[in-house]
Amino acid sequence: MKRAVSIVVTLALLAWLASDARWKMVGDAFDRVTPAAFVAVAVALFVTYVLRALRVCDEFRGEVNGRFGACLRVILIHNAMINVVPFRGGETAFPLLLRQVFGIPIMRASASLLWFRLQDAFVVGILACLVWPGLHPALRAAGIAALMVVAWYLPRWARAPHDWAGRGRVVAKLGRIRDIFTEATGRSRYGWWWTVANWALKLSVQAWLLALMLGTS
């Protein structure tokens, strides 16, 4: 009975959404995008997955041993899980997949994932400062400089000697995490370049597609 009620409510909601006249606006927006443009966007977005897979290959080159196809599969599954599992729960798939495919310890893979996300945040923040409309040049420069300083300092802070191991159980565990994070920040050779290339391409393509759909230049 509960399932039947759920189905009826879902269908009613879909019917209500479909009856909204604004769906025509959505259809008109998609009509502005040519098939060639859709193909170009799809290819460009796939290239972003390739760049992310290359970042994983670079980060774990000792364990991956050139198996790019396996890295790409991990990235695609990881991204699918992020889209399916709510509250970013799909992030847990990344360390689990790395352990299953390459035998990489969960803690090490998790530390690398944390560093990946921090790199993403720094790069997106800098790109936002560069393109934010109407932002005063002084604020733009200050924001970029601040993000670059923090991105430069964080790995060096992690690598600095510490005595957290002798400060109690909780602090000792945090010290262990800090040590593993230190390894993650210094392992990749071209991590920043992969990150910049990925986000520059991804955001540029999305902006271009949005401009086409809105009919703007």
Residue ranges of the domains in the chain?
28-214
pLDDT score, position 217: 60
pLDDT score, position 21: 66
Distance CA 32, CA 215 (A): 7
- Point out the least confidently predicted range of 9-23, 38-52, 117-131: 9-23
pLDDT score, position 108: 87
Q: Does 54 score more than 90 pLDDT?
A: yes
Over residues 72-101, mean pLDDT:
90
Distance CA 137, CA 132 (A): 10
The number of beta carbons lying within 10 Å of the beta carbon of residue 56 is 28
Distance CA 209, CA 206 (A): 5
pLDDT score, position 142: 97
Cα dihedral 67/72/73/78 (nearest 10): 130
Over residues 189-201, mean pLDDT:
93
pLDDT digits (tens, 9 = 90+) for 137-175: 999 999 999 999 999 998 888 888 877 777 777 877 777
Q: Does 208 score more than 90 pLDDT?
A: yes
